[in-house]
Structure 1
Amino acid sequence: MSQSAAVSPSIDLPENKSGPHTSRLGLITVVATFGGLLFGYDTGVINGALEPMKLDLGLNPAKEGFVVSILIFGAALGALIGGNLADRYGRKHNIMLLALVFMVGTLGCCLAPNWQMLGLFRFILGLAVGGASTTVPIYLAEVSPFEKRGSLVTRNEVMIVSGQFAAFIINAILFSVWGEHEVIWRYMLAVAVLPAIALFVGMMSMPESPRWLASKGRKQEAFEVLSQIRSPERAAAEMEEINALSTNGDSRPTSSWKDLTTPWIRRLIIIGIGVGVFQQLTGINSIMYYGTQLLQQAGFTSQGAIVANTLFGLASVVGICIGLMVMNKLDRRVMLLGGFVLTTLFHLLVGLSAYFLPESAAKPYVVLSLVIAFVFFMQGTIGPLAWLLLSEIFPLHVRSYAMGVCVFMLWITNATVAFVFPPIVSQFGIAPTFFLFAALGVLALIFIGTMVPETRGKTLEEFEDEFKAEYS
């Protein structure tokens, strides 16, 4: 398949001129991405809540690892379940259900009397995180015009990193003011109830995905939704393209493991798994989960580490905002390859500085600066692009199901890296750990360069049609 920057749609789509539909689409994006905000907050809050949590519940290292990682394993399962439910019952329905699960999981964690109950509700919370990580990007991709799909889907990643940043800031403030109270971690976690309520209430008035409606034969409803979020001429033309794909038999309202064994779909699954796994093998979530401990290992005091850790969240937000500005102007492959080149470079620099620099007052700040640069470039390129590509490459009839499989593998990799990162750093030190990440970055560059297709400038239906024609 050609890797050209842009291809004209298979049906000549008129320009989607601005109008009331533009504001409607903007509101849909804001409301849906509260799922990303919850994803970010609930994965980032443990970074600062862990120390008082350990004291309050008497966690030993094994229990600590269980409480941290159980959410990630829940997210892996939630991605599979959420993808299946989104295909069966709809994207909007699934997001509203996930909002309720977020509420239950959060309140259960806040009120947990012991580590066993905390682990149970962290797992429930993980189901919501995983489901949101699958469903929200797909929903955004399916309501977005292809010209703006990159920036609109990427706003979910903006909210994810904003949620993590908010968690770091709130943790630092609460710890600085009331850090002597062992129960402070419960208040850190409780904040997440508010955006969960906002997500549930907001989605009540949002429309269902027009492409999901069309896949279920509800084409009049699909056209009515498109008419809300497109200009009249554009809505009619997009509906014609969706109908054409359906007429050709490419849009079936079913999804199962058998669908994933079709050769061209199987190739997309391999690509999706590779993109998701290599995103996690950058080690970004090791920084998001254990940034405070990493900085202490580098030489910061406990108080200094929790404050300096907020800079990782700031770098994430600034990086993704800059990435958002160029997302629709550069090819996905160019940004993805460039991102892995830069993150691999900074992995090497972190390792070299940790290994060769003599112990001094300046060394912790050098390591901090290089890790901040890694986080900045990672979140400005690889972070959002992985989720964007996963939302774009799969055919409609298996989109949520297939993405669920890929995100399951992403979360399993996330959990594995999170589990092995602390003992590797403790046993071997910062330098060998980051050298390992650099080696994995080289493998990622080879995979992206040889396997990942270009999706920019194509409708979801056109990309499906082209890829199927080439690899069937």
Structure 2
Amino acid sequence: MSNAPATPAAERSGAAELPPLTSGPHSRRLGMVALVATFGGLLFGYDTGVINGALLPMSEELGLDEKSEGTVTSTLLIGAAFGAVSIGRLSDGWGRRKTILLLAVLFLVGTLACVFAPGLAVLLVGRFLLGLAVGGASTVVPVFLAELAPYEIRGSLSGRNELMIVIGQLAAFIVNAILGNTLGHLDGVWRIMLAVCAVPAVFLFLGMLRVPESPRWLISKGRYDEALKVLKTVRSEERAEAEMDEVERVSRLEATEHKTGISSVLTNKWLVRILLVGIALAVFQQLTGINSVMYYGQIILRDAGFGADAALIANIAPGVIAVVGGFIALWMMEKINRRTTVITGYSLVTIFHVLIGLSAMYFPEGNSARPFVILVLIVCFVGSMQTFLNVATWVLLSEIFPLHMRAVGVGVSVFCMWTANALLSWAFPSLIAGIGINGSFFSFAAVNAVAALVMWKFLPETRGRSLEAVEKDVTTGAIFTVNNK
């Protein structure tokens, strides 16, 4: 990007005439709506994290080998890739609220199919259904939150979904450790681990029955009176009316200038470029290897030298630091530029990958310090990832795309994310078996060094801008020619 002078803050935000935010019943209502919606993130986290402890007892009962273990893990991720595209697109026509209600049903049905699966085939069907729900949640919930949030707190409000994802993963690790160490001698303990997911699925469905539709989606459908009514429940009346005027103006302009769908994206070089930025954000996030740790943490820690039960307990440590990092990331969202956060994150992740690889190389198997050194470094890696990359990635994906391509842009980006996740998760057990911890993490380090350079070169800045201002600058290409410091 060039070093052209930055535009004034008021002009960049697109909100010079908007009344300031105020506290009151409307702000509490906004917080409650966000809490309910992020139960989708909680389910996302639990369903992706529970396999970490459930996989070994599942493999023993069903007789799975390394390739079958990779298939069970990656089936959910393949479903997530399809869910990101299809359900994200569905939300454009059907609405964000109704789509999240559908996701709650998919979470419940998929959970029940896995819990009562008589064999591998039904288990894979259940995992695929859960994947559709996870992929849909990863696309629709962040968009719903971004469209509902005022621009001043959009980063921290949208980022709550990623925080709930890591809380869900931590909950899965804790449940796995408790059940594995108390009921691990029983056949089918993995079914109990999976069954816990049914509870938040019911809460998500019941909660979304009382949540309003996205006002920006309503405006895109010409339902202006309904949109204003919703805005007045989560803003002061003065702010709601002023914001409504701005969003309505941009929406009408978009309706006359742009078609929706992938075809409209491919005819505008700036939209193609922002789509490629979104894909890079999504894919590089997975190539950090974060989900290899979250899915196969017990296997990694056993390879490092922990016993099976001790690995289940030690695995809680990365989950705890992930939640701590998530809280810090929310605090950072409105204080530090997105570019700075992301570039710092990839730099730190690269460093810790190198250190993990070196520790696995220079602390031989059988060395009493080896498992604890590797655990500490994995905790540092996960902490860096959650603090600087995970929340920032999801917030950026929810805000960099114009309204007319938001569902398509997020859907395609998240499809690529889940595809990369699935391929890496399928290959990781064989990778660890073939080249060990050191070779695996040295490979991750090389990829993440490249990611830091790509983000430095191409990632635009969006902090402090309204969605409408970002939309205007993306469509004209201005966002790529101004280096926002």
TM-score interval, smaller chain = over 0.9
**Runs (5+) with no aligned partner, structure 1:** none
Of 303, 313, 318, the match for 1:312: 318
Cα distance in 1 for partners of 2:47, 2:184 equals 20
- 2:309 matched to which residue of 1? 303
In structure 1, what is the Cα distance between the partners aligned to 2:145 and 2:5?
Answer: 24
Q: Against the structure 1 CA distance between its residues 418 and 238, is the aligned structure 2 distance closer, same or farther, given a 3 Å change threshold?
A: same
Query: Contact 1:6–1:457 (CA<8 Å) still a contact in 2?
Result: no
Distance of aligned partners of 1:251 and 1:41 in 2 relative to their CA distance in 1, 3 Å threshold: farther
Task: Give the TM-score taking structure 2 as reference length.
Answer: 0.95
In structure 1, what residue type is equivalent to 2:14? Answer: S
Aligned to 2:483: none
Q: How many angstroms does 1:251 deviate by?
A: 7.5
Assess, with a 3 A threshold, how the Cα gap between structure 1 residues 247 and 69 changes in structure 2: closer, same or farther.
Answer: closer
Does the CA-based 8 Å contact 1:251-1:397 persist in structure 2?
A: no
Task: Name 1:276's counterpart in structure 2.
Answer: 282
1:217 equivalent to 2:237? Answer no
| 1:191 counterpart = 2:196 | yes
Contact preservation (8 Å) 1:5, 1:457: no
Deviation at 1:243, TM superposition (A): 1.8
Change (3 A) 1:402 1:375: same
CA–CA separation in structure 1 for the residues paired with 2:298 and 2:7? 41
Partner of 1:350: 356
Secondary structure of 1:456's partner? coil
Conserved 8 A contact 1:216-1:253: no
Q: 1:252 to 1:194 in 2, by over 3 A?
A: farther
Judging changes above 3 Å, is the alpha-carbon distance between structure 1 residues 187 and 251 closer, same or farther for their aligned structure 2 residues? farther
| Distance in 1 separating the partners of 2:321 and 2:7 | 29
Deviation at 1:442, TM superposition (A): 1.1
Post-superposition CA distance 1:331-359 (Å, at most 9, x none): 00011111111111101111111112344
Is 2:402–2:475's contact at 8 Å kept on the other side of the alignment?
Answer: no
Q: Indicate conservation of the 8 Å contact 1:150/1:388, yes or no.
A: yes
Q: Which shifted more, 231-240 or 365-374?
A: 231-240
| 1:441 counterpart = 2:445 | no
Residue 408 of structure 1: how far off its partner (Å):
0.1
CA contact (8 A) 2:402 2:474 kept: no
Matches within 5 A, 1:168-179: 168-179=173-184
SS at match of 1:158: helix
Corresponding letter in the other structure for 1:350: I
Aligned counterparts of 1:246 and 1:344: Cα–Cα separation in 2: 41
Whether the 8 Å contact between 1:161 and 1:313 is mirrored in structure 2 is yes
Aligned length: 472
Find the aligned partners of 2:8 and 2:316 in 1 and give their Cα distance.
38
Residues 5-41 of structure 1: CA deviation (Å, up to 9, x unaligned)? 9832334211011111001000001000000000000
For residue 348 of structure 1, what is the amino acid of its counterpart?
Answer: V
- Write the distance in 1 (CA, Å) between the matches of 2:179 and 2:6: 50
Structure 1 residue 416 and structure 2 residue 420: aligned? no
> CA separation in 1, counterparts of 2:415 and 2:155?
23
Amino acid at match of 1:438: A
Note if 1:139 corresponds to 2:179. no
1:469 aligned to 2:473?
no
Asked whether 1:155 is paired with 2:157, we answer: no
The whole-number CA distance in structure 2 between the counterparts of 1:252 and 1:96 is 32
> Alpha-carbon deviations, 1:272-295, whole Å to 9, x = none?
000000000000000000000001
Match status 1:166 vs 2:166: no
- Structure 2, gaps ≥5 residues long: 481-485
Q: CA deviation at 1:157?
A: 0.6
Asked whether 1:380 is paired with 2:382, we answer no
The farther-off stretch of 10-19 and 36-45 is 10-19
> What's the CA shift string for 1:136-193, capped at 9, x where partnerless?
0000000001110111111101100000000000011011111011211111101011
2:241 alignment partner in structure 1: 236
Which of 2, 6, 14 in structure 2 is aligned with 1:10?
14
Question: Which AA in structure 1 matches 2:261?
Answer: S
Residue from 332, 354, 362 that aligns with 2:338: 332
How far, CA to CA, are the matches of 1:290 and 1:4 in structure 2?
Answer: 45
Instruction: In structure 2, give the amino acid aligned to 1:303.
Output: D
- Does the residue aligned with 2:339 lie in a helix, a strand or coil? helix
Tell me, what secondary structure is at the counterpart of 1:330?
Answer: coil
Tell me the distance in 2 between the aligned counterparts of 1:251 and 1:13. Answer: 25
Residue 56 of structure 1, CA deviation: 2.0
SS in 2 for 1:453: coil
Task: State which drifts further: 17-26 or 259-268.
Answer: 259-268
| Structure 1 ranges of 4+ moved more than 4 A | 1-6, 250-254
1:68-83 aligned at under 5 Å gives the runs: 68-83=73-88
Residue 126 (structure 1) aligned with residue 128 (structure 2): no
| Aligned-pair CA distance for 1:4 | 5.5
Match of 2:272 in 1: 266
Percent sequence identity over aligned pairs: 49
Q: How has the CA–CA distance of structure 1 residues 257 and 3 changed in structure 2, closer, same or farther, with 3 Å as cutoff?
A: farther
**TM-score, structure 1 normalization:** 0.97
Q: Structure 1 residues 253 and 185, CA, compared in 2 at 3 Å: closer, same or farther? A: farther
Alpha-carbon distance, 1:64 to partner: 2.1
Q: Distance in 1 between matches of 2:474 and 2:112?
A: 45
Give the Cα–Cα distance (whole angstroms) in 2 for the partners of residues 14 and 126 of structure 1.
42
Cα displacement (A) at 1:212? 0.3
Cα RMSD of the aligned pairs, angstroms, is 1.6
The whole-number CA distance in structure 1 between the counterparts of 2:257 and 2:9 is 25
For the residues of structure 2 that align with 1:6 and 1:23, how far apart are their CA atoms?
Answer: 31
- 1:325 and 1:390 map into 2 onto residues whose CA distance is 19
